[in-house]
A and B are shown apart, each in its own frame.
Chain A
């Protein structure tokens, strides 16, 4: 028995720690949970190493897979900074004075993200872009009191299924609008769908097919001032594409995963959420604000906490407590390292190299359904031949050619394969050569 244990048992006048569990009725006590004995670091390293090697990651293959989560370059400085013990092992800065470091950092995240989006306010994180959209829909309801919200029919299911859950509680009806022949939000259908119950609309650019939907420019005029315009963006595109603030979006959402988080099998991600100053009191999540201490020194504080669950309970704007703060820090470091010139550059590389791959696809006479619409770093491709056939060829080449769209997206023809193809700056010229070989074999 170690000395601490001995001293504490003595102080408590007990012989066995189990005596402290006497208040748990005998009928519900358990003898054991049935887990094996613990092991050492080296043993766990070996087992985990074995599991990790059962995976074949995108680093082991030629990957053009995106569809909502993207294989971008992660600068080494990010991992280094977010591993600083004082950051990673802290919790929510309830004691502001001893936590100014993370509070300043989160204020900086909000500030840089606000510049990137050209929005007034950004919170210091929601879970992922699906949750961010879900919260945006609830916020629309809280602002307008309306219970109809318009969304694009074509959206990744992993997002649509999440927002349906968020909409259920307040009883919001999600009205789906199809794309037009250019793969953009069908404006005529939108005009028809708007009625007195419509509280807002969600449009994303780039959308599920990677298309930079230029109809975003018309949304405010169509829906008027009273309805809430929620814009969905890919933050890494905003070095080359106009920000949501330029289109008078009321709420902007996106996934910060692209800004230095990496893949991690889908989590943690980073739900980016921004709004206008006039709606700040309706906003979900934690917000850092510039403040002063009692001596007038500049400081940072958690502001408007009366919106949050620990104070407002059932009247809170959201139930969110733990968020993705460390991922906000990752994105902040990423934005700091790239700066204006790097963001422009990374946008150009993604867009430019995607266009390059599209040109290659066209050389093979393969069908690009929305050929004339501008895309950011993803595009839809339609190959003659079954998925089994296409996939067999791809796997032989150690290639992931894109995301396969199936009947869940309305693609029912078994003799053709529809792929959403993603290109990032991580795709090498060698990857392109393999893709050329793939196209040769499938066309």
Chain B
């Protein structure tokens, strides 16, 4: 039996009292020189005690659900367990209190760690050079596509190559990043088996193509086995190949993007390399490139000649994509993970993730269709489209009502009533069986019954339509709309 903690907790803005937190130099008096017309008046957030703040957030945390709470098979997000040692290492004072603009002599340890992480990622991806600067996967995509842009600009082909080709199963961030980098996104349909339609692919990839962008295994958890042919074809048209590394956990140590023919790769350290997702971030999206694109990487790069340097000597650099050198706190965690896992640990993670996924698929396909090729990698997509099956959204609500996180639903868009399930290696058979049983329960439940769920959580179903039709994004706007 599952029940989430329920508190009627007011907004922190409404919890007002006195400030107990003491500041350094609290009692010093100053005569300030603020220009007229620029003095701050009332601020309007109120004061409160430290214990009030802590109690408030402890209550809120108890009305939340993380990968440490229970099984969290959110497809394409790789919600694997985050070892606690990672957090401990990242808060060592020698890392935590380091300023990015300090003298090179004083930051050697940080640079060494970043250098080593880059070297490991080069080995894992097969790429020739890595930047750790991008702050999330989508920013990695933007970085990679900015490199594509700079490369063709340099070759004088940018005017001609305005298109980025993506499969219709691609993550939404792929076409969005293409648009941000100034390209037009062209979609290629998939075959019914879930892989890219080769005829359509060959029609789409032309001399106008700047890059073909794909994740492999794809978002249906299927390995695109024509990848070498696609790479050769795209290269023959002069295009570059971009690997979206969101699904790297499904092939890590078995093959790598370089072997498949990719020129640019982004990784999601928060997915594959076990750094906590933080309720939405921070992430980290390093980008790897092959030799011919090395000179376009963002600056600075880290070099070593007996001493580590932040080098700005990158001849054709795209400049910068982030203020400093990346989400260092996340990089330290990923470095720790790779160090501890080693070669055989990473192989085991990949194998178990794929075993778990195929195990769950085999159980689920007994009562719900799982489209595409039967052999899956780290995830698979079930479709409750059949008239007798409950809607994907209803299944999700039943799962969370039982204290199991729901899969990603209604994605990828090419599968109707999609349930995208990624168990990761951090799941026991018992947890997976419970998930399957819980999904199965919905088959015998009446629609009216399902619609009432969740009942064991802080709230019942959200009225999403009203929330977006009449947006109240802040307390001040909410108060105003109540007055009207």
Check: A25 CB closer than 8 A to any chain B CB.
Answer: yes
**How near does chain A come to B341, taking the closest CB pair, in angstroms?**
5
- CA separation between A332 and B39, bound complex, in Å? 23
Q: Which residues of A lie under 8 Å from residue B387 when comparing CB positions?
A: none
CB pairs A–B below 8 angstroms (22 shown): A30-B254, A44-B85, A52-B94, A58-B99, A67-B101, A69-B99, A86-B62, A90-B64, A107-B474, A111-B11, A158-B324, A161-B319, A242-B39, A262-B96, A289-B468, A297-B459, A309-B172, A322-B137, A337-B19, A337-B48, A338-B23, A349-B24
Whether B38 lies near A212 (C-beta < 8 A) is yes
Please tell me the size bucket of the interface on B: 35 or more
Check: A222 CB closer than 8 A to any chain B CB.
Answer: no
Question: Are A314 and B40 CB-contacts (below 8 A) given A52-B95, A340-B46?
Answer: no
**How near does chain A come to B40, taking the closest CB pair, in angstroms?**
5
Whether B112 lies near A85 (C-beta < 8 A) is no
Whether A351 lies near B38 (C-beta < 8 A) is no
Q: Which residues of B lie under 8 Å from residue A255 when comparing CB positions?
A: 323
Q: Which residues of A lie under 8 Å from residue B341 when comparing CB positions?
A: 38
Whether A348 lies near B339 (C-beta < 8 A) is no
Count of chain A residues with Cβ under 8 Å from any Cβ of B? 198
Question: Are A39 and B362 CB-contacts (below 8 A) given A104-B11, A241-B34, A264-B328?
Answer: no
**Stretch from A122-130, A185-193, A410-418 forming part of the interface with B:** A122-130
Interface residues of B in 111-151 (CB under 8 A from A): 112-113, 120, 123-124, 126, 135-139, 141-142, 146, 149
Q: Which residues of B lie under 8 Å from residue A269 when comparing CB positions?
A: 323-324
- CA separation between A112 and B281, bound complex, in Å? 20
| Contact digits for B8-41, partner A, Cβ 8 Å, 1 yes 0 no | 0101110000010101111010111111011111
- CA separation between A312 and B180, bound complex, in Å? 13
**How near does chain A come to B245, taking the closest CB pair, in angstroms?**
13
Check: B414 CB closer than 8 A to any chain A CB.
Answer: no
Whether B280 lies near A48 (C-beta < 8 A) is no
| Contact digits for B370-392, partner A, Cβ 8 Å, 1 yes 0 no | 00010101000000000000000
Give 4 closest A-B pairs by Cβ, nearest first.
A352-B30, A266-B324, A52-B94, A38-B342
Q: Which residues of B lie under 8 Å from residue A335 when comparing CB positions?
A: 45
Whether A342 lies near B471 (C-beta < 8 A) is no
Q: Which residues of A lie under 8 Å from residue B474 when comparing CB positions?
A: 107, 110-111, 114, 120-122
Q: Name B473's contact: one of A7, A303, A311 (CB within 8 Å).
A: A303
- CA separation between A99 and B62, bound complex, in Å? 9
**Stretch from A145-153, A168-176, A362-370, A435-443 forming part of the interface with B:** A168-176
Q: Which residues of B lie under 8 Å from residue A380 when comparing CB positions?
A: none
**How near does chain A come to B216, taking the closest CB pair, in angstroms?**
10
**Stretch from A75-83, A194-202, A224-232 forming part of the interface with B:** A75-83
Check: B264 CB closer than 8 A to any chain A CB.
Answer: no
Whether B277 lies near A342 (C-beta < 8 A) is no
Q: Name B343's contact: one of A33, A312, A320 (CB within 8 Å).
A: A33
Question: Which residue of B is nearest A42, CB measured?
Answer: B85
- CA separation between A131 and B136, bound complex, in Å? 12
Whether B471 lies near A98 (C-beta < 8 A) is no
| Contact digits for A39-59, partner B, Cβ 8 Å, 1 yes 0 no | 111001101111111111111
Check: B234 CB closer than 8 A to any chain A CB.
Answer: no
**How near does chain A come to B424, taking the closest CB pair, in angstroms?**
12
Check: B69 CB closer than 8 A to any chain A CB.
Answer: yes
Q: Which residues of A lie under 8 Å from residue B351 when comparing CB positions?
A: 17-18, 20
Q: Which residues of A lie under 8 Å from residue B112 when comparing CB positions?
A: 51, 54
Check: A321 CB closer than 8 A to any chain B CB.
Answer: yes
**How near does chain A come to B221, taking the closest CB pair, in angstroms?**
11
Check: A381 CB closer than 8 A to any chain B CB.
Answer: no
**How near does chain B come to A256, taking the closest CB pair, in angstroms?**
12
Question: Which residue of A is nearest B361, CB measured?
Answer: A12
Question: Which residue of A is nearest B177, CB measured?
Answer: A319
**Stretch from B198-206, B255-263, B437-445 forming part of the interface with A:** B255-263
Whether A319 lies near B35 (C-beta < 8 A) is no
Whether B281 lies near A57 (C-beta < 8 A) is no
Check: B44 CB closer than 8 A to any chain A CB.
Answer: yes
| Contact digits for A317-358, partner B, Cβ 8 Å, 1 yes 0 no | 011111111110100110111111111111111011101000
Check: B1 CB closer than 8 A to any chain A CB.
Answer: no
- CA separation between A370 and B477, bound complex, in Å? 40
- CA separation between A154 and B478, bound complex, in Å? 39
Check: A37 CB closer than 8 A to any chain B CB.
Answer: yes
Whether B58 lies near A84 (C-beta < 8 A) is yes
Q: Which residues of A lie under 8 Å from residue B277 when comparing CB positions?
A: 89-92, 322
Whether A301 lies near B276 (C-beta < 8 A) is no
Check: A9 CB closer than 8 A to any chain B CB.
Answer: yes
**Stretch from B235-243, B287-295, B404-412 forming part of the interface with A:** B404-412
Question: Which residue of A is nearest B37, CB measured?
Answer: A217
Q: Name A241's contact: one of B40, B141, B179, B458 (CB within 8 Å).
A: B40
Interface residues of B in 37-94 (CB under 8 A from A): 37-48, 50, 53-54, 56-69, 72, 74, 77, 79, 82, 85, 87-94
Q: Which residues of A lie under 8 Å from residue B340 when comparing CB positions?
A: 38-41, 44
Check: A421 CB closer than 8 A to any chain B CB.
Answer: no
Q: Which residues of B lie under 8 Å from residue A336 when comparing CB positions?
A: 12, 45, 48, 53, 56
Question: Are A65 and B99 CB-contacts (below 8 A) given A158-B323, A269-B323?
Answer: yes
